[in-house]
Structure 1
Amino acid sequence: MKLKLLILGVFLSVFSAHSQEYFPKNDGVQMRNTNYTVFKNAKIHVDPQTTIENGMFAIKEGKITAVGKTINIPKNSVVVDLAGKEVYPSFIDIYSDFGISKPKKAESGDQPQYEAGREGYYWNDHIRPETNAVSHFSFDPKEAEKFHKAGFGVVNTHVPDGIIRGTGMLVALTPNVSEGQRILNERSAQYLSFDKSVASRQSYPTSLMGAMALIRQAYLDAQWYAGGNADNTDLALEALNQNKDLVQIFATDKLLDELRADKVGDEFGVQYVILGSGKEYQRLNEIKSSNATYIIPLKLPEAYDVEDPYLANYVSLEEMKEWNQAPANLKMLAEKNVPFTITTHSIDAEKDFRKNLLKSISYGLSKEAALAALTTIPAKTIGQANKLGVIKAGAWANFLITSGDYFEKETTLYENWIQGEKKILENMTHTDITGNYDLSVDGKNYDLKITGEASKPKADVKLGETKIGSKLSFEDNWMNLLLSSPDTTKTEFIRLVTNVPSKTDKISGKAILPNGSETTFTASKKSEEEKSDKKDKPAETPKVMPVTYPNMAYGFTEMPKQENILFKNATVWTNEVEGIVENTDVLVKDGKIVKVGKDLNAGGARVVDATGKHLTSGIIDEHSHIAASAINEAGHNSSAEVQMEDVVDPTDIDIYRNLAGGVTLIQLLHGSANPIGGQSAILKLKWGASAEDMIFQPAPPFIKFALGENVKQSNWGSKSRFPQTRMGVEQVFMDYFSQAKAYESKKQSGKNFRKDLEMETLLEIINSKRFVSSHSYIQSEINMLMKVAEAFGFNINTFTHILEGYKVADKMKEHGAGASTFSDWWAYKYEVNDAIPFNAAIMNEVGLTVAINSDDNEMSRRLNQEAAKSVKYGGMSEEEAWKMVTLNPAKLLHVDDLVGSVKAGKQADLVLWNDHPLSIYAKPEKTMVEGVVYFDIERDQKLRKEIQQQRNELIGQMLKEKNNGVKTQPVVKKEDQHVHCDLLEEVH
Structure 2
Amino acid sequence: MLFKQLSFIGLLLCSLTFYAQDYFPKNDGVQSKNNNYTVFKNATIHTSPTETIKKGTLVVRDGKVVSVGKNVNAPANAIVIDLDGKSIYPSFIDIYSDFGIEKPKRPSGGGRTAQYEGSREGYYWNDHIRAEQEALGSFKYDSKKAKEYVAAGFAVVNTHLHDGIARGTGMLVALNTEGDDASRILDASSGNHFSFDKSVTSRQSYPGSIMGKTALLRQVYHDADWYGKGNVPTKDLTLEAVNKNKDMVQIFEGSGLYDALRIDKIGDEFGVNYLIVGGGDEYKRIDEVKALNRTFILPLKFPDAYDMENPYNASYVSLEDMRGWNQAPTNPKVLTDNNVNFALTTFSHKSPKDFKDHLMKAIKYGLSKEKALSALTTIPAQLIGQSDKVGSLKDGAWANFMITSGDIFDKDTDVYEHWVQGNKTVLKDMSIKNIDGKYNVTVAGKTYELTVENSMEKKPKATLKKGEDKVPSEFSYSDGWMNLTFADGDKQFTRLVSNVSDGLSGKAILPSGAEQSFAASRTGDAKEDKEDDDKDKEEKEITVMPMTYPNIAFGFKEKPKQEDMLFKNVTLWTNEAEGIIENTDVLVKDGKISAIGSNLKAGRATVIDGTGKHLTAGIIDEHSHIAAFSINEGGQNSSAEVRMADAVDPDDIDIYRNLAGGVTAIQLLHGSANPIGGQSAVMKLKWGSSIDDMVLEDKKFIKFALGENVKQSNWESYSRFPQTRMGVQQLFVDYFQRAKEYEDKKKSGQPYRVDEELETIVDILNQERAISCHSYVQSEINMLMKVAESFNFRVNTFTHILEGYKVADKMKEHGVGASTFSDWWAYKYEVNDAIPYNAAIMHKEGVTVAINSDDGEMSRRLNQEAAKSVKYGDVSEEDAWKFVTLNPAKLLHMDDKVGSVKVGKDADLVLWTDNPLSIKARAEKTIIEGTVYFDMERDAQMREEIEQEKNKLTTMMLAEKNKGLKVTEPKKKDKQHLHCDTLETIH
Number of the residue aligned with 2:709: 710
Distance 1:453 1:283 in 2: 45
Decide whether the 8 Å contact of 1:430 with 1:455 is kept in 2: no
Number of the residue aligned with 1:208: 210
Change beyond 3 A, Cα 1:460–1:796 = farther
Q: Is 2:145 the counterpart of 1:148?
A: no
Decide whether the 8 Å contact of 1:616 with 1:902 is kept in 2: yes
Q: Is 2:51 the counterpart of 1:50?
A: yes
Change beyond 3 A, Cα 1:113–1:793 = farther
Question: Which 10-residue stretch deviates more, 47-56 or 429-438?
Answer: 429-438
> What is the TM-score with the length of structure 2 in the denominator?
0.97
Decide whether the 8 Å contact of 2:453 with 2:526 is kept in 1: no
Q: After the TM superposition, which residues 830-979 of structure 1 pair with which residues of structure 2 at under 5 Å, given as runs?
A: 830-979=829-978
Q: Which amino acid in the other structure matches residue 631 of structure 1?
A: I
Number of the residue aligned with 1:65: 66
Q: After the TM superposition, which residues 735-754 of structure 1 pair with which residues of structure 2 at under 5 Å, given as runs?
A: 735-754=734-753
Number of the residue aligned with 1:526: 523
Decide whether the 8 Å contact of 2:116 with 2:635 is kept in 1: no
Distance 2:859 2:468 in 1: 68
The count of aligned residue pairs is: 981
Q: After the TM superposition, which residues 409-448 of structure 1 pair with which residues of structure 2 at under 5 Å, given as runs?
A: 409-442=411-444, 444-448=446-450
Deviation at 1:588, TM superposition (A): 1.0
Distance 1:533 1:70 in 2: 44
Deviation at 1:308, TM superposition (A): 0.6
Q: Which amino acid in the other structure matches residue 27 of structure 2?
A: N
Number of the residue aligned with 1:817: 816
Q: Is 2:629 the counterpart of 1:626?
A: no
Distance 1:408 1:494 in 2: 38
Distance 2:509 2:888 in 1: 94
Structure 2 gap segments, 5+ residues each:
none
The Cα offsets for residues 15-67 of structure 1, whole Å up to 9 and x where unpaired, read as 55456554253222332222111101111111111111111110111110101
Question: Which 10-residue stretch deviates more, 371-380 or 510-519?
Answer: 510-519
Number of the residue aligned with 1:227: 229
Q: Which amino acid in the other structure matches residue 761 of structure 1?
A: T
Number of the residue aligned with 2:662: 662
Number of the residue aligned with 1:483: 486
Distance 2:898 2:506 in 1: 90
Decide whether the 8 Å contact of 1:427 with 1:455 is kept in 2: no
Q: Which amino acid in the other structure matches residue 933 of structure 1?
A: V
Question: Which 10-residue stretch deviates more, 523-532 or 313-322?
Answer: 523-532
Number of the residue aligned with 2:93: 92
Structure 1 gap segments, 5+ residues each:
none
Distance 2:963 2:457 in 1: 26
Distance 1:925 1:477 in 2: 76
Distance 2:312 2:492 in 1: 52
Deviation at 1:491, TM superposition (A): 4.8
Number of the residue aligned with 1:648: 648
Number of the residue aligned with 2:27: 26
Number of the residue aligned with 1:688: 688
Number of the residue aligned with 2:606: 606
Following superposition, which runs of at least 4 residues in structure 1 exceed 6 angstroms of deviation?
Answer: 528-531
Distance 2:678 2:349 in 1: 37
Number of the residue aligned with 1:560: 560
Decide whether the 8 Å contact of 1:108 with 1:201 is kept in 2: no
Number of the residue aligned with 2:121: 119
Change beyond 3 A, Cα 1:530–1:169 = closer
The Cα offsets for residues 175-217 of structure 1, whole Å up to 9 and x where unpaired, read as 2222111000010001101111111111110111100000000
Q: Is 2:458 the counterpart of 1:459?
A: no
Change beyond 3 A, Cα 1:817–1:469 = farther
Q: Which amino acid in the other structure matches residue 73 of structure 1?
A: A
Number of the residue aligned with 2:387: 385
Q: After the TM superposition, which residues 63-462 of structure 1 pair with which residues of structure 2 at under 5 Å, given as runs?
A: 63-110=64-111, 114-442=116-444, 444-452=446-454, 454-456=456-458, 457-462=460-465
The Cα offsets for residues 770-808 of structure 1, whole Å up to 9 and x where unpaired, read as 000000111111111111111111111000001111111
Change beyond 3 A, Cα 1:848–1:515 = farther
Deviation at 1:7, TM superposition (A): 4.3
Q: Which amino acid in the other structure matches residue 786 of structure 1?
A: M
2:476 to 473, 478, 484: 473
Look up the SS of the partner of 2:167 in the other structure: strand
Decide whether the 8 Å contact of 2:439 with 2:524 is kept in 1: no
Distance 2:527 2:301 in 1: 37
Change beyond 3 A, Cα 1:54–1:528 = farther
Distance 2:313 2:278 in 1: 30
Look up the SS of the partner of 1:237 in the other structure: helix
Change beyond 3 A, Cα 1:620–1:455 = closer
Deviation at 1:593, TM superposition (A): 0.9
Change beyond 3 A, Cα 1:688–1:494 = farther
Deviation at 1:674, TM superposition (A): 0.3
Change beyond 3 A, Cα 1:653–1:494 = farther
Q: Which amino acid in the other structure matches residue 141 of structure 1?
A: S
Change beyond 3 A, Cα 1:497–1:350 = farther
Change beyond 3 A, Cα 1:22–1:142 = closer
Distance 2:444 2:587 in 1: 92
Q: Identity percentage over the alignment?
A: 62
Q: Is 2:543 the counterpart of 1:540?
A: no
Distance 1:477 1:529 in 2: 19
The Cα offsets for residues 68-107 of structure 1, whole Å up to 9 and x where unpaired, read as 1120211131111111111111100000000000112123
Q: Is 2:672 the counterpart of 1:672?
A: yes
Decide whether the 8 Å contact of 1:113 with 1:636 is kept in 2: no
Change beyond 3 A, Cα 1:252–1:460 = farther
Deviation at 1:461, TM superposition (A): 3.6
Decide whether the 8 Å contact of 2:436 with 2:525 is kept in 1: no
Deviation at 1:854, TM superposition (A): 0.3
Question: RMSD of the alignment, in Å?
Answer: 1.8
Look up the SS of the partner of 1:288 in the other structure: helix
Distance 1:795 1:943 in 2: 47
The Cα offsets for residues 629-671 of structure 1, whole Å up to 9 and x where unpaired, read as 0100010000000000011100100000000111000000000
Change beyond 3 A, Cα 1:282–1:468 = farther
Number of the residue aligned with 2:720: 721
Change beyond 3 A, Cα 1:113–1:796 = farther
Change beyond 3 A, Cα 1:433–1:797 = same
Q: Which amino acid in the other structure matches residue 57 of structure 2?
A: M
> What is the TM-score with the length of structure 1 in the denominator?
0.97
Q: Which amino acid in the other structure matches residue 958 of structure 2?
A: L
Distance 2:33 2:514 in 1: 57
Distance 1:720 1:513 in 2: 88
Number of the residue aligned with 1:799: 798
Look up the SS of the partner of 1:739 in the other structure: helix
Decide whether the 8 Å contact of 2:626 with 2:977 is kept in 1: no
Distance 2:946 2:472 in 1: 49
Change beyond 3 A, Cα 1:463–1:838 = farther
Deviation at 1:482, TM superposition (A): 3.0
Deviation at 1:517, TM superposition (A): 5.3
Distance 1:440 1:213 in 2: 78
Decide whether the 8 Å contact of 1:550 with 1:687 is kept in 2: yes
